[in-house]
């Protein structure tokens, strides 16, 4: 399932520095002549397509991006220094358009591709430039040109990395609302979620992944019970499934283990490949279980469910345990992505040369290294 992640940013390239009016002042030398230098160019704003980024969520946290202005020109023929450029890193596939007109300006398609999204203004002319045979002492100068300013819309089609699986009311939507930017409907009755929702989870700067919340499944879904199981197709291209279990069902006669087994049964009936996907157990609503009973309750669940995979204990409501879970998910997603992408070509300019040869390398002993 694809959805469009978007962000709006305001960028400003640097203004050019102003030109300078100045005259040479040297001892014993009259009419020294003009020596006011030009202003420096303002910094440009570039965008680079970076394979390490998955979403645009960082741009929702930092909207304004300004490059530095150029320095003003000075006397003694000194030109102002150019303002520093800035480079904004964006995921491959980002479409950059004018936020007001909607016109598409660029599409970042190739990893490593760099484009200029706002040009810095040129520096103004100092009076040195205006010297001529008829005007030997010009007092003109020009101000720097303004840098380009733009309001941009960024768009990226993203696929879900992680899918949530579970009974109605297990707390899937509460979880996605707790950890992502999605704001799905949450209610204490089954089948609150009728359509899949995607949310972007930000783990840290430049670290994010996408999670899909789908309607709940019930036993018999493969025969059409509840909302059926056709929603599972949205999870097919994910890299990880989170099986969310309600550990404190309202009806005490309901056994969470039986519920969890029913979900796994439906998954297996739907598609063997989906069943084989990495799946983690997320035991939810643990805030409802008295602290002293939690460990035993979890242990009993894992034992009766005969579960050998990863287990996370959380409360989507209080967010307890959510932080370590999303960190682990991010690590998993990142590792999977790297495996899928295969060995990356590294730009030789960015290769880290480290601290020199490894002394345990046999070539080192043979003196093959300098």
Q: Would you say 65 or 279 has its CB closer to ligand GTP?
A: 279
If binding is defined by CB under 6 A, does position 173 make contact with ligand GTP? yes
Q: Would you say 172 or 239 has its CB closer to Mg ion?
A: 172
For residue 141 the two structure tokens come to 């100068």
Q: Least distance (Å) from Mg ion to the CB of residue 221?
A: 15
Q: d(Cα 309, Cα 327) in Å, to the nearest integer?
A: 17
For residue 23, the SS3 value is strand
| Residue 222 contacts which entry, Mg ion, ligand GTP, none (Cβ below 5-8 A, type-dependent) | none
If binding is defined by CB under 6 A, does position 288 make contact with ligand GTP? yes
Which among 217, 179, 193, 159 is positioned nearest to 329, based on CA atoms? 179
Contact 305, 260 (CB under 8 A): yes
If binding is defined by CB under 6 A, does position 315 make contact with ligand GTP? yes
Contact 156, 299 (CB under 8 A): no
Task: Supply the angle between the helices 291-304 and 256-270 in degrees, to the nearest 10.
Answer: 40
From 19, 171, 199, 321, residue interacting with ligand GTP (rule: CB under 6 A): 171
Contact 328, 209 (CB under 8 A): no
Q: Least distance (Å) from Mg ion to the CB of residue 180?
A: 13
From 65, 239, 285, 332, residue interacting with ligand GTP (rule: CB under 6 A): 285
Contact 200, 192 (CB under 8 A): no
Footprint of Mg ion on residues 321-350 (CB under 5 A)? none
If binding is defined by CB under 6 A, does position 216 make contact with ligand GTP? yes
| Residue 288 contacts which entry, ligand GTP, Mg ion, none (Cβ below 5-8 A, type-dependent) | ligand GTP
The interface region with Mg ion, picked from 105-113, 189-197, 240-248, 328-336 by CB under 5 A, is: 189-197
Contact 55, 204 (CB under 8 A): no
If binding is defined by CB under 6 A, does position 190 make contact with ligand GTP? yes
From 18, 54, 193, 208, residue interacting with ligand GTP (rule: CB under 6 A): 193
If binding is defined by CB under 6 A, does position 186 make contact with ligand GTP? yes
Q: Strand 95-98's sheet: what is its strand order?
A: 64-66, 2-12, 149-159, 95-98, 104-107
Q: Supply φ then ψ for residue 292, to 5 degrees.
A: -75, -15
Q: Give contact residues for ligand GTP (rule: CB under 6 A).
A: 166, 168-174, 186-188, 190-193, 215-216, 284-285, 287-288, 315-317
């Amino acid at each position: 399932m694809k959805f469009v992640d978007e962000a709006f940013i305001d960028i400003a390239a640097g203004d050019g520095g102003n030109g300078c009016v100045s005259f040479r002042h040297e001892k014993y030398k009259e009419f020294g002549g003009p020596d006011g230098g030009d202003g420096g160019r303002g910094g440009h704003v570039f965008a680079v397509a970076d394979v390490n980024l998955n979403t645009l969520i960082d741009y929702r946290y930092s909207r304004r991006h300004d490059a530095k202005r150029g320095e003003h020109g000075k006397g003694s023929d000194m030109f102002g220094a150019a303002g520093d450029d800035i480079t904004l890193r964006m995921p491959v596939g980002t479409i950059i358009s004018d936020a007001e007109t909607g016109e598409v300006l660029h599409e970042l398609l190739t990893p490593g591709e760099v484009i200029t999204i706002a040009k810095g203004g040129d520096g103004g002319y100092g009076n040195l430039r205006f010297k001529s045979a008829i005007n030997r002492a010009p007092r003109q100068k020009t101000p720097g040109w303004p840098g380009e300013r733009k309001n941009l819309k960024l768009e990226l089609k993203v696929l879900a990395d992680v899918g949530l699986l579970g009974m109605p009311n297990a707390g899937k939507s509460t979880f996605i609302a707790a950890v992502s930017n999605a704001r799905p409907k949450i209610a204490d009755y089954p089948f609150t979620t009728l359509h899949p929702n995607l949310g972007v989870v930000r783990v840290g700067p430049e670290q994010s992944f996408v999670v899909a919340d789908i309607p709940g499944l019930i036993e018999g879904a493969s025969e059409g019970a509840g909302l059926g199981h056709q929603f599972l197709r949205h999870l097919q291209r994910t890299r990880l499934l989170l099986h969310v279990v309600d550990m404190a069902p309202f009806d005490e006669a309901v056994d969470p283990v039986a519920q969890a087994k029913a979900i796994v049964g439906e998954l297996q009936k739907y598609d063997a490949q989906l069943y084989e996907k990495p799946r983690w157990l997320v035991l939810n609503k643990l805030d409802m279980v008295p602290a002293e009973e939690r460990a035993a309750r979890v242990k009993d669940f894992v034992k009766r469910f005969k579960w050998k995979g990863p287990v996370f204990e959380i409360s989507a409501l209080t967010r307890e345990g959510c932080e370590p879970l999303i960190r682990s998910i991010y690590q998993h997603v990142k590792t999977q992505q790297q495996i899928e992408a295969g060995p990356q070509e590294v730009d030789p300019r960015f290769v880290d040369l480290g601290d020199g040869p490894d002394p345990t390398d046999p070539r080192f002993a043979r003196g093959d290294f300098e």
